[in-house]
Amino acid sequence: MRYATPASAKEAAGLLSKETGAAFLLAGGTDLLVKLKMGMVEPDLVVDIKRIPKIDEIQTSAKGFTIGAAVSGSVIGEHKALKAAWPGVVEAANLIGSDQIQGRATLAGNLCNASPAADSVPAMIAAGAKAVIVGPQKKRTVAVEKVVLGPGQTCLTKGEVIEAITLPKPEPRTGDAYLRFIPRTEMDIAVVGVAISLKLERGVVKKAKVVLGAVAPTAVVVAAGAKALVGSKLDDAALDKLAAACSAACNPINDKRGTVEYRTRVAGVLAKRAAKIAFPRAGGAL
């Protein structure tokens, strides 16, 4: 196994695209090293992006935030401005694994691993996050919801590297939240995850985005759930409609963590609770 530490994302993309053997990108390594240990992958080349300048930094600008692909969960959790702007995204990122995992795991890695149960992905989608993708030839920016195509599959082509995740500066009176259900209190994989972002106008929901995780091959944007909330002050009727829309959008699997029926029911319950957290964060009065 060859190990490379390129000095730029473009150089990383060049190395990955030229490699004829099995090539893998290494950021936090919390998925790659497990696969290595289990013998699920046998890399000929590992490209470690952590030596790229600024890739482990969060940049703030008038447009919003640029979170480098090697920024760990613990760094995200300590970033006050990011936490104030997108608390739901930060909560979701910080739910992944233990403190030890938080010391390494990244948003870009959670996205590229493309697990249906990835915690940060629904939250990033609800917040309007984008992935900055660098290829050997060109750079492109893709909405996070378009990146994952199926379990373990992304839209990245050979050689392409996610350099950063961007989050917009939230509009005034915006609030987001992420909740996941697990059978334990820590250290588990989502049975259902729900991310909701709301924008209010005069105390009423003006715009909403509702995204489910762990109930389908990819995260699911529930347009009908968002529609149920728009124009409401989160009254019971609107919340019931949200829950029904979320349950209807589920296409889950049966596994040891939850049955199809259970996941479908919990998605609705959790969506109501997430909406009730996002609403006051957007300045609404419940």
Q: Identify which range of 26-34, 57-65, 147-155, 231-239 contacts other proteins by CB under 8 A.
A: 26-34
Of positions 8, 48, 216, 259, contacts other proteins by CB under 8 A: 48
Pick the binder of other proteins from 60, 98, 141, 157 (CB under 8 A): 98
Q: Buried b vs exposed e over 134-158: b needs ≥16 C-beta within 10 Å?
A: bbbeeeeebebbebbeeeeebebee
Minimum distance, C-beta of residue 113 to other proteins, in the bound complex (Å)? 13
Q: Which stretch binds other proteins (CB under 8 A): 42-50, 161-169, 196-204, 217-225?
A: 42-50
Smallest gap from Cβ 78 to other proteins, in A, equals 9
- Report if residue 77 touches other proteins, rule: CB under 8 A: no
**Helical (H) or strand (E) element with 240:** helix 236-248
Subset of residues 184 to 203 that bind other proteins, contact rule: CB under 8 A: 186-187
Least distance between other proteins and beta carbon 31 (Å):
9
Among 37, 80, 202, 256, binds other proteins (CB under 8 A): 37
Quote the CA–CA distance of 173 and 135 in Å, as a whole number: 37
Residue 269, Cβ neighbours under 10 Å: how many?
16
Which parts of the chain are beta strand (E)? 2-4, 23-26, 45-48, 58-60, 64-68, 130-134, 139-143, 148-150, 153-154, 161-168, 174-181, 192-201, 204-213, 220-221
Residue 66 or 102 with smaller CB distance to other proteins? 102
Residue type, 217: P
Q: How many whole angstroms separate alpha carbon 58 and alpha carbon 179?
A: 24
**Least distance to other proteins, CB of residue 82, Å:** 17
Q: How far apart are CA 239 and CA 78, in angstroms?
A: 33
Residue 2 binds other proteins (CB under 8 A): yes
CB of 5 to other proteins, least distance (A): 8
**Applying CB under 8 A, which residues contact other proteins?**
1-3, 26, 29-30, 33-34, 36-38, 43, 46, 48, 50, 72, 74, 97-104, 186-187
